[in-house]
A and B are shown apart, each in its own frame.
Chain A
Amino acid sequence: NAGVTQTPKFRVLKTGQSMTLLCAQDMNHEYMYWYRQDPGMGLRLIHYSVGEGTTAKGEVPDGYNVSRLKKQNFLLGLESAAPSQTSVYFCASSYPRDYSYEQYFGPGTRLTVT
């Protein structure tokens, strides 16, 4: 099993450009998440999904959109990139175990917006 994969691994965008980050998991997990990680701050939840066809806002959703058309894929879109969106983006997936949810993380995407 590949686990959780993310593409691309690195990307540089100019302000105003758009892009989509792809997260894929092969563990048949129901829940998927997008986080961003910035220096000096903990990981922050952008959007999440509790199943195919569903999405919900997290802590910092502004400027991002998501889609979960297939259970194994969770896409994060930036319609008009801003320098404040320079960050490392992590995708994760989880399944319920003992009423708690252990999360499995992808390797991350480093995005720079100039």
Chain B
Amino acid sequence: KNEVEQSPQNLTAQEGEFITINCSYSVGISALHWLQQHPGGGIVSLFMLSSGKKKHGRLIATINIQEKHSSLHITASHPRDSAVYICAVSYTGTASKLTFGTGTRLQVTL
């Protein structure tokens, strides 16, 4: 069983919709990462957070440490947001290594 669970696995949205992707983990962490992987494979780090909320453009990431849960929101979605979004955590005491979720495949249509 993966220690990092993402939902949904697949998501289709129409352009302009508000999108939420969820991530839950099992034990205490030092940081949670959201990554984006486009078709063709390249992986880019979107956010790294250990508390609260971060915003970059139309992307917002939140984390609730007590509930061991994070969400990635995309406002006013666009077809160029189509990608796989991956949640990963680094555990307290092992800050150099990441444990990854299996990803959420997002398709945004016109």
Which residues of A approach B to under 8 Å, CB–CB? 31, 33, 40-45, 48, 50, 58, 88, 90, 92, 94, 96-105, 107-108, 110
Contacts of B50 in A (CB 8 A): 98, 100
Name which residue of chain B comes closest to A50, CB basis.
B96
Instruction: Tell me the dominant secondary structure on chain A's binding face.
Output: strand
Contacts of B101 in A (CB 8 A): 42
Establish whether residues B102 and A41, one from each chain, have CB atoms under 8 Å apart when the complex forms: yes
The smallest C-beta distance from B33 to any residue of chain A, in angstroms, reads 7
Establish whether residues B97 and A58, one from each chain, have CB atoms under 8 Å apart when the complex forms: yes
Establish whether residues B30 and A100, one from each chain, have CB atoms under 8 Å apart when the complex forms: yes
Task: Determine which of B4, B41, B102, B103 lies in contact with A108 in the assembled complex, contact meaning CB atoms within 8 Å.
Answer: B41
Establish whether residues A102 and B45, one from each chain, have CB atoms under 8 Å apart when the complex forms: yes
For chain B, residues 44 to 59, give those with C-beta under 8 angstroms from any C-beta of chain A: 44-45, 48, 50
Count CB-based A-B contacts (< 8 Å). Answer: 62
Interface: B2 (CB within 8 A): yes
Among A42, A48, A58, A97: residue with most chain B CB under 10 A: A42
Name which residue of chain A comes closest to B44, CB basis.
A105
Establish whether residues B43 and A100, one from each chain, have CB atoms under 8 Å apart when the complex forms: no
The smallest C-beta distance from B74 to any residue of chain A, in angstroms, reads 20
Establish whether residues B102 and A40, one from each chain, have CB atoms under 8 Å apart when the complex forms: yes
- Measured as residues with beta carbon below 8 angstroms from the partner, the interface class of chain B is 20 to 34
Establish whether residues A100 and B102, one from each chain, have CB atoms under 8 Å apart when the complex forms: no
Additional A-B contacts beyond A102-B33, A105-B44 (4; CB < 8 A):
A42-B99, A90-B43, A107-B41, A107-B42
The docked-state distance in angstroms from the alpha carbon of A62 to that of B49 is 32
Establish whether residues B98 and A45, one from each chain, have CB atoms under 8 Å apart when the complex forms: yes
Task: Determine which of A33, A50, A100, A108 lies in contact with B42 in the assembled complex, contact meaning CB atoms within 8 Å.
Answer: A108
Contacts of A107 in B (CB 8 A): 41-42
Known: A42-B86, A105-B42. A100 touches B48 (CB 8 A): yes
